[in-house]
């Protein structure tokens, strides 16, 4: 039951993104799999539109329309607001935030916790 609802929502989101691109409207959408946000800006009449992308904690850059990341986001992504897209570079990603702890660091943490409990 839940899988069918998720599948339906994915198809619905993909149709809405595609519909807006075809109609020539600006679209903001996100690929949760790649932690990447996209902006589609339509071109003038007769000219193709442009895609821009942002990773978490990074600035915007232009991306090719035939990129696999763009295609994946159009098919699997979700629409987002312009406000969320504009603030996307300020958001910390889940997968990209990695801290390396050495055994010495973890030992110090245990000592601090032990002192706090006393």
pLDDT at 51 over 90: yes
The domain segmentation of the chain, as residue ranges, is: 2-117
- pLDDT bracket for residue 7 (50, 70, 90): confident
Cα separation, 21 vs 33, in Å, equals 21
CA dihedral for 36, 42, 47, 48, sign (positive or negative): positive
- The answer to which of 26-40, 55-69, 94-108 has the lowest mean pLDDT is 94-108
Q: For the chain, give the mean pLDDT.
A: 81
The contacts of residue 64 (CB under 8 Å, 6+ apart) are 51, 70
Lowest mean pLDDT, pick from 5-14, 36-45, 69-78, 90-99: 90-99
Give the full edge-to-edge strand order of the sheet including 78-79. 61-63, 50-55, 36-41, 27-31, 78-79
Mean pLDDT of 100-109: 53
């Amino acid at each position: 039951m839940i899988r069918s609802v998720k599948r339906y929502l994915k198809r619905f989101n993909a149709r809405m993104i595609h519909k807006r691109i075809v109609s020539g409207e600006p679209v903001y959408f996100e690929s949760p799999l790649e932690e990447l946000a996209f902006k589609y800006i339509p071109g003038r009449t007769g000219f193709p539109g442009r895609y821009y992308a942002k990773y978490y904690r990074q600035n915007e850059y232009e991306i090719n329309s035939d990129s696999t990341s763009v295609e994946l986001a159009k098919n699997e992504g979700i629409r987002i607001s312009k406000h969320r897209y504009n603030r996307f570079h300020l958001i910390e990603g889940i997968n990209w935030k990695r801290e390396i702890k050495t055994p010495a660091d973890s030992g110090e943490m245990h000592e601090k916790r032990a002192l706090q409990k006393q």
